[in-house]
Structure 1
Amino acid sequence: MREPDRIVRLKTVVARTGLSRSTIYRKIGEGTFPAQLRISVNGAGWRESDINRWIADPAAWRPTCLSVACTAMSAPGANRK
Structure 2
Amino acid sequence: MKNPIQPPASPRIIRLSEVVTRVGLCRASIYNLIKAGDFPSQIKLGLNSVGWVESEVQTWINSRVQSSRPNQLSQVA
Same fold, judged at TM 0.5 (above): yes
Letter in 1 for 2:14: V
Q: Which structure features the higher share of strand residues? A: 2
Count of aligned pairs: 60
User: Runs of 5+ in structure 1 lacking a partner?
Assistant: 61-81
Identity between Structure 1 and Structure 2 (%): 40
User: Which structure's CA Rg is the greater one?
Assistant: 2
Superposed CA deviations along residues 48-69 of structure 1, whole A, max 9, x for unmatched, are: 0100100100388xxxxxxxxx
The SS at the match of 2:46 is: coil
Q: Which residue is equivalent to 1:56?
A: 62
Moved over 2 A (4+): none
TM-score using structure 2 length? 0.74
- Structure 2: 5+ residue runs without aligned partners? 1-6, 67-77
TM-score, scaled to structure 1: 0.70
